[in-house]
Structure 1
Amino acid sequence: MSPYRSNFFPKVTKQKIVLLVKRFIILSVAFFFLFLSLNVLFPLPDKIAYSTIIRDANGEIINAYLTPDDKWRMKTELNEISPLLRKTIVAKEDKYFYSHPGINLFAIGRAAFNNLLHMKRTSGASTITMQVARALEPRKRNLLTKLIETFRAFQLEWKYSKDEILQMYLNLVPYGSNIEGVKAASLLYFNKEPDHLSLAEITALSIIPNRPSSLVVGKSNNAITKERNRWLQKFADGGVFTKKEIEDAEAEPLTSVRRTVSHFIPHLAYKLRKQSESINIKTNVVLNTQLKIEKLTEDYVRGLKLKGIRNAAVVVIDNKTHKVISYVGSAGFTDTTDGGQVNGAAAVREPGSTLKPLLYGLCIDEGLLTPKMMLNDVPVNYAGYAPENYDKEFHGAVTTEYALEHSLNIPAVRGLKLLGKEKLIQKLVAADFKQIQKDQNKLGLSVILGGCGASLEELTGLFSAFANNGVYFSPQYLQDAKSKSVQLLSPEAAYLITDILSKVNRPDFPLNWTATEHMPKIAWKTGTSYGRRDAWSIGYNKAFTVGVWCGNFSGAGVPELSGANIATPLLFKIFNSIDYDSDEEWFAPPKGCELRQVCSETGLPPGPNCTNLISDYFIPLVSSTKVCGHLQEVKVSPDSSLSYCQACAPQTGYIKKLYKVFDPELQDYFRATGMPYQIIPPHNPQCERIFKGEGPNITFPVNGAEYFIDKKHPEPLQLIAAVPADVSKVYWYINERFYKAANKGEKQFFVPEEGAVKISCSDDKGRSKTIRINVRRIAL
């Protein structure tokens, strides 16, 4: 070889090759560590805000919300990227996407050559990865921006898989106006999910990002179709799709226009969006049922507005699945006359009498009551709390079922006193009553009359427990939610309450429900809050539990507002709409629920003198077995002027008579109302025996209370005591000094001294009771 050729082609030794390889490796490692350092110093801005979408029970999108930057950007999941969508986008945007490391050197070289040749920008070299980088961090386009995009592309390839990068591209690509991402575009332009798009639709969408201001769906459909077909021919020339697929796509017309996003269930959607971190919220709402109930509610409230009642809310629960299938927060979300955007289903309001069924069920489970057992509906005072009935009347002794059917207040308070308010409150807390949980330490006996806070959501969930053998299942608003369960009542108690609430001969049957309208087979309870601000009606059968609230969000009371006449007609209409003539069998008595004969006067198992017997349900080993003693055999003088006890009865010269025995408070009620009743004659005054048992019950003043008396004009306090039937006279003592003797039922008054006052009352049987009060004299 000539020296010339030797100098031109210097000899490459093995050592030089090794040196070059080492240098390459060192340089590569240096670049790698530089990349890692820059990756830490300048992290990838890959936090993408997506629109929250709300789906119904069938998976259809029924509501959605803009992103914080006011974009319709709905996340396309990996499983929603169909093979056709992937194939089309990759073929159009970056056919070497799955083989390059984020940048395409060949494309860069080709673009540079063409741009230099024509002395202007004729083509780009951006890969799908680089387009994602540009969308994540928009900048002014120049050489520095291109270098930054290249670095970001490497970051993307380092952190994500190719499919994930493609997913990000499909979620960020602009489609004109405030629409970003293929999912938002496919829904707003074609009303379908991205995995249902055809080849023609995908291709049409793929060209819009190149000219989003001039290619507008609905306005530029002819231009979009022309450009679409041009790309379809490119696909055909490149063998991407078959001739038949291309022909079908070209023949497909483009008639789309921009649609609006659905905004169904606005109240529930907003509530769930605030509570959930998910951007894809799947509810259990059945849209057809929802739309029916919304229309019924809107139409019904329209007729109430003349009465000054402007709103209503409805919740419907499927009793078998515990899913909330319908949720109406107001009669009209866009109605501004009474705050239509307020969520009446979630609002905390006074529940009226709606908690009474749970109370009576708990009393049944505690063995305190059965349906035919008697409760006294007479004036009562519990430490200064004197409840009244809705009609301001008293009814004497009434059965438990009568008290519940007529929603009497005094028997309910009496039942709560027997049960203990803590037990009721514990059950309500277990049933997710949030406001009651917050206020549980300051709630009193008035809780059973609505003196607490509850929402329609909570009350409807509570009543669904009666339809599920007494088991409360937390209502399921979301498809993937798990429902907790709590045994509130026994199946027996739940059935007995259902049996009472399903009777139609009730005073709370709506007066305006004409005989021509269909009466659904349901159990229901009404409630009206203090001041007639809230009307409730909650009903259930085996299939559904429906809760209805009517009133004004302003809190204004209306004289005509009541659960019976305002809320219940809407409840009936809803049941007739969703479960008309249901073939479901009605609730059957559980095995642990049996019938027994009881005395009609007391509802207790009959004693030896009981003759009028009726049937009543009871729970063996739970219900009271106390025998009725309402008729008492008494030894009296022949003229019935004196009665004798066993100790003072003479050997001869007396007769035996049966007398009805009444509670002292019932006797007071009879006397106050002028009702005649049988009185046991006064006991033999010569008897020296001291009797055991309950003595007088001082009902006023109230034990432990503090009373304020005017210094200048002190008014006397009344002395009231309830005494047993065999008492005829009582004796009052003030601060251990005898004050006055009085006949039973006679009113007495005294002017107390300032400070602590001890008051005692003794009866003519030697029994006594003592209370203490505190008196302060002030200038009034």
Structure 2
Amino acid sequence: MRFVKRRYNKVLLNAFYAVAGSFLLFLLLNWILPLPDRIEYSTIITDDKGEVIHAFLTHDQQWRMKTELGEISPLLRKTIVEKEDKYFYYHLGINPFAVCRAFGRNILLHRRTSGASTITMQVARALEPKQRTYWSKIREMFRALQLEWKYSKTEILQIYLNVVPYGGNIQGVKSASILYFKKNPDHLSLAEITALSIIPNRPSSLVIGRNNDLIVQQRNKWLQRWAREKVFTEKEIADALAEPLTATRGTVPSLVPQLAQKLKKRGGPIVHSTVQLNTQLKLEKLIKDYSRTLALKNIRNAAVIVLDNQTHRVVSYVGSADFHDSADGGQVNGAAAIRQPGSTLKPLLYGLCIDEGLLTPKRMITDVPINYDGYAPENYDRRFNGYVTMEYALGHSLNIPAVKSLKALGKDRLIRKLTECDFRQVDRDRKKLGLSMILGGCGATLEELTGLYSIFANEGKYIRPRYAQDDSSGKEVKVLSPAATFMINETLSKVNRPDFPLNWESTVHLPKIAWKTGTSYGRRDAWSIGYNKRYTVGIWVGNFSGLGIPELSGANVATPLLFTVFNTIDYDDDASWFSKPRDCDVRMVCSETGLPPADFCTHLVTDYFIPLVSTAKKCDNREEVFVSADEKMAYCRICLPPAGYKKKWYTVIPPEMKEYYDANHITYQSIPPHNPMCERVFREGAPVVTSPANGSEYLINRKDPEPLLLRCRVSNDVSKVFWYINDKFYKSGEAGSREFFVPDEGPVKISCTDDKGRNRNVWIRVRYVNL
């Protein structure tokens, strides 16, 4: 008995050592020979509902689309397991009974009559293809053990469904499902799954679309076998047997091509975009048709982005009018191209000025010629309007008030806000940008501008647009206050503007929107960006070649398309408009200045303002002046005579407005000349020299020198000015008159003194050249 017991214990111990040794050997080999399980999948792009809308070949030119776990339906799982390996969930990658059976049959019949490959072993073979030998089979078994050690059964089944061959360059059930049946794997029927399951055994002879009758014959054999084994119900089998097979190999969807290229750079086998396919297809057709009408004017392309303001998802992305139009650069992504933004940055500028207390909608700005160190902007129509309100300047997209507002705000503040809103080119060029950036002298994309305008629908907060459903940057930046945002919304939603489309049909059933247009220098780019509570829509129209077209403008070309897009995506929507926020209030202001009224103000209007932020300075456009009885002479308190004078109110006219009135022959009441006998020295209100520009260098033709213009702006109380060149008296003239002189070469000092002794100096440099 003891002998038997000792022998039994020894056998157990040897068995334990054998198992332990085998396990340690497996771990060693697993470390030495790692599993080659890195699989390159085709990048696929889906819409917001998970349907494939674009896919890319792998580097080895295979369609190998990854099937996600959620796409492996219970029916697909059950059918594949029953067909390929019914004991899949009960073995460790190798089915020993199947191995013994196959080995015995092969020995007895001297040929291979049946295989013993499990699903796991088939995965191993697909990951590391080898010639079918006994040594390859042993290696395959080892790899199967590695797979079982590393992955769960569900994951192994998923890998199998991703690498199983279906003939040609099609691998994986998802690729086959989309190419043959135009649907995702979780939508396949029992008949379709069974048909696909038999192809990997004979992928070269069972080709869907070429051998459908043979495939149906083999499919039905398996269905009848499962009927006998009661794997599926009688009704399921009957429906599958009756289902015809009419499938042929189709093409992989190639929709939203520019966005697909953009999302592919994110990496990963599957990118779930935020695109709403129905909306996308409607807009693609609309834009293609619209571009055809513009082709007669030699305007050949357009790009559109639609952003959902609640979810911040991009629901439509059209990069060009026709991606397949190679003649006009259809494959260029116009939505991501860096271009001049024209006047589209003005709403942000005025919003920032409101938050700084510099402006309110009714605040007056002078729209007259200006010159900042040689930079002299002009309006779109090359005209000047004198006094204009901020809302008029924005609604009519006047350039000069915008440049003056940027000068007052400071360009660095605008650049900082644009950088916070992901304007990459602005950030790169921040040191080179000047005042011209507000008129389009910088680089921006349609993506950036559409994201920027969404702040007006989100109480001044910038939330980075989402192009993929898993975007989780979460970037949120407060750009403007809700009050400033509301004031801009009220201004941009007015329809009595020059950029309102003349085609009334485009406004039928149009939801209420706010919008802003822009046209770049040289008429190369036309912009129109609009928004309401639901959507922000960005439009670019032009030529990818950069060709300027005289008829190209945001108002005439881009805005009609904007209105049509809104009619398509938000037809006849009567949703509520933006309401006045708590930090915004209403007050009465002087209609002539937009400032809180003084005692002398008689014409008042209502205006929005931000309490404790907007200026509380009262209107100061009237000045009480002591004048002689005949109103031909003015006195100050120093030279005021004991009698023979009276008080009179005069409108304060800045020098730039006085020059504008004189140039346009607009009458105004001037303050009489000051008492010439007065010895008071005036310090404020010195002349402003507008020509020549301070700090500039002038090149003059040595053979035919042209004189330089001397010109200045003076206050309303000045009637005469005196010019000095290099501290030597040159000439005197009436206020507003033009004088000319030929300077010497080198540095030149120019001085202008008015009849009250106030002086202004400028310096220029002159070089004579042979032209």
From 561, 567, 585, the counterpart of 2:552: 561
From 432, 439, 449, the counterpart of 2:422: 432
Gaps of 5+ in 1: 1-10
From 101, 115, 130, the counterpart of 1:139: 130
Distance 1:243 1:644 in 2: 113
For each residue in 1:105-151, what CA deviation from the matched residue of structure 2 results, as whole angstroms up to 9, or x when unmatched?
32222222222332222111222222111111112222332232222
How far residue 347 of structure 1 moved from its aligned partner, in angstroms, is 1.1
Partner of residue 222, structure 2: 231
TM-score normalised according to structure 2 size: 0.95
For each residue in 1:241-278, what CA deviation from the matched residue of structure 2 results, as whole angstroms up to 9, or x when unmatched?
4445434433333333333222221111111111x123
Partner of residue 772, structure 1: 763
Task: In structure 1, give the amino acid aligned to 2:624.
Answer: E
Distance 2:187 2:395 in 1: 56
The question of 1:704 aligning with 2:706 is answered no
Partner of residue 384, structure 2: 394
Distance 1:14 1:594 in 2: 99
Whether contact under 8 Å (1:512, 1:565) holds in the other structure is no
- CA spacing shift, 1:515–1:244, aligned 2, 3 Å: closer
Task: In structure 1, give the amino acid aligned to 2:350.
Answer: Y
Partner of residue 364, structure 1: 354
Q: How does 1:109-120 map to 2 (within 5 A)?
A: 109-120=100-111
Distance 1:161 1:331 in 2: 48
Question: SS state of the match for residue 430, structure 2?
Answer: helix
The question of 1:180 aligning with 2:165 is answered no
Partner of residue 8, structure 1: none
Whether contact under 8 Å (1:696, 1:767) holds in the other structure is yes
Partner of residue 4, structure 1: none
How far residue 423 of structure 1 moved from its aligned partner, in angstroms, is 1.2
Which deviates more from structure 2 when the two are superposed, residues 624-633 or residues 438-447?
Answer: 624-633
Partner of residue 192, structure 2: 201
Partner of residue 5, structure 1: none
Q: How does 1:212-361 map to 2 (within 5 A)?
A: 212-274=203-265, 276-361=266-351
The question of 1:102 aligning with 2:93 is answered yes
Task: In structure 2, give the amino acid aligned to 1:311.
Answer: N
Gaps of 5+ in 2: none
Whether contact under 8 Å (2:512, 2:574) holds in the other structure is no
Distance 2:524 2:147 in 1: 59
- CA spacing shift, 1:232–1:423, aligned 2, 3 Å: same
The question of 1:190 aligning with 2:194 is answered no
Task: In structure 1, give the amino acid aligned to 2:394.
Answer: L
Distance 1:573 1:84 in 2: 46
Task: In structure 2, give the amino acid aligned to 1:52.
Answer: T
How far residue 509 of structure 1 moved from its aligned partner, in angstroms, is 1.6
How far residue 779 of structure 1 moved from its aligned partner, in angstroms, is 3.9
Distance 2:220 2:339 in 1: 62
Partner of residue 406, structure 2: 416
Whether contact under 8 Å (2:510, 2:566) holds in the other structure is no
For each residue in 1:502-540, what CA deviation from the matched residue of structure 2 results, as whole angstroms up to 9, or x when unmatched?
111111122334598455421111111111111111111
Distance 1:648 1:323 in 2: 71
Partner of residue 747, structure 1: 738
Partner of residue 80, structure 1: 71
Distance 2:396 2:184 in 1: 54
Q: How does 1:372-521 map to 2 (within 5 A)?
A: 372-482=362-472, 483-513=474-504, 517-521=508-512
Which deviates more from structure 2 when the two are superposed, residues 644-653 or residues 476-485?
Answer: 476-485
- CA spacing shift, 1:580–1:79, aligned 2, 3 Å: closer
Task: In structure 2, give the amino acid aligned to 1:220.
Answer: N
Partner of residue 144, structure 2: 153
How far residue 367 of structure 1 moved from its aligned partner, in angstroms, is 1.3
Task: In structure 1, give the amino acid aligned to 2:549.
Answer: V
Question: SS state of the match for residue 326, structure 2?
Answer: coil
Distance 1:186 1:580 in 2: 36
Task: In structure 1, give the amino acid aligned to 2:469.
Answer: Q
Partner of residue 7, structure 1: none
Distance 1:674 1:241 in 2: 96
How far residue 700 of structure 1 moved from its aligned partner, in angstroms, is 2.6
Task: In structure 1, give the amino acid aligned to 2:42.
Answer: S
TM-score normalised according to structure 1 size: 0.94
Distance 1:237 1:582 in 2: 59
Which deviates more from structure 2 when the two are superposed, residues 357-366 or residues 248-257?
Answer: 248-257
The question of 1:63 aligning with 2:54 is answered yes
For each residue in 1:73-132, what CA deviation from the matched residue of structure 2 results, as whole angstroms up to 9, or x when unmatched?
221223332333223222222223233332233222222222233222211122222211
Distance 1:671 1:246 in 2: 95
Whether contact under 8 Å (1:129, 1:156) holds in the other structure is yes
Question: SS state of the match for residue 465, structure 1?
Answer: helix
For each residue in 1:164-198, what CA deviation from the matched residue of structure 2 results, as whole angstroms up to 9, or x when unmatched?
22221111111122221122222333333323333
For each residue in 1:410-468, what CA deviation from the matched residue of structure 2 results, as whole angstroms up to 9, or x when unmatched?
11101111111111111111111111111111100000000011111111111111122
How far residue 406 of structure 1 moved from its aligned partner, in angstroms, is 1.3
Whether contact under 8 Å (1:636, 1:644) holds in the other structure is yes
- CA spacing shift, 1:654–1:704, aligned 2, 3 Å: same
How far residue 17 of structure 1 moved from its aligned partner, in angstroms, is 5.6
Task: In structure 2, give the amino acid aligned to 1:111.
Answer: A
Percent identity of the aligned residues? 64
For each residue in 1:636-693, what CA deviation from the matched residue of structure 2 results, as whole angstroms up to 9, or x when unmatched?
2233221111211212112333322211011112222333222111111000011232
Task: In structure 2, give the amino acid aligned to 1:211.
Answer: R
From 31, 34, 49, the counterpart of 1:40: 31
The question of 1:572 aligning with 2:563 is answered yes
Task: In structure 1, give the amino acid aligned to 2:497.
Answer: R
Question: SS state of the match for residue 124, structure 2?
Answer: helix
Q: How does 1:494-643 map to 2 (within 5 A)?
A: 494-513=485-504, 517-643=508-634
Whether contact under 8 Å (2:300, 2:543) holds in the other structure is yes
Whether contact under 8 Å (1:648, 1:687) holds in the other structure is yes
Which deviates more from structure 2 when the two are superposed, residues 612-621 or residues 25-34?
Answer: 25-34
For each residue in 1:530-587, what CA deviation from the matched residue of structure 2 results, as whole angstroms up to 9, or x when unmatched?
1111111111112211111111111111111111111111111111112122121122
For each residue in 1:202-237, what CA deviation from the matched residue of structure 2 results, as whole angstroms up to 9, or x when unmatched?
222111111112212233222222212212233344
Task: In structure 2, give the amino acid aligned to 1:400.
Answer: M
From 617, 642, 651, the counterpart of 1:651: 642
Question: SS state of the match for residue 647, structure 2?
Answer: strand
Task: In structure 2, give the amino acid aligned to 1:600.
Answer: S
Distance 1:519 1:681 in 2: 56
How far residue 371 of structure 1 moved from its aligned partner, in angstroms, is 1.6
Distance 2:759 2:374 in 1: 22
Distance 2:630 2:653 in 1: 22
Task: In structure 2, give the amino acid aligned to 1:113.
Answer: G
Whether contact under 8 Å (2:377, 2:399) holds in the other structure is yes
Whether contact under 8 Å (1:513, 1:569) holds in the other structure is no
Whether contact under 8 Å (2:47, 2:275) holds in the other structure is yes
How far residue 758 of structure 1 moved from its aligned partner, in angstroms, is 3.1
How far residue 711 of structure 1 moved from its aligned partner, in angstroms, is 4.6
Partner of residue 686, structure 1: 677
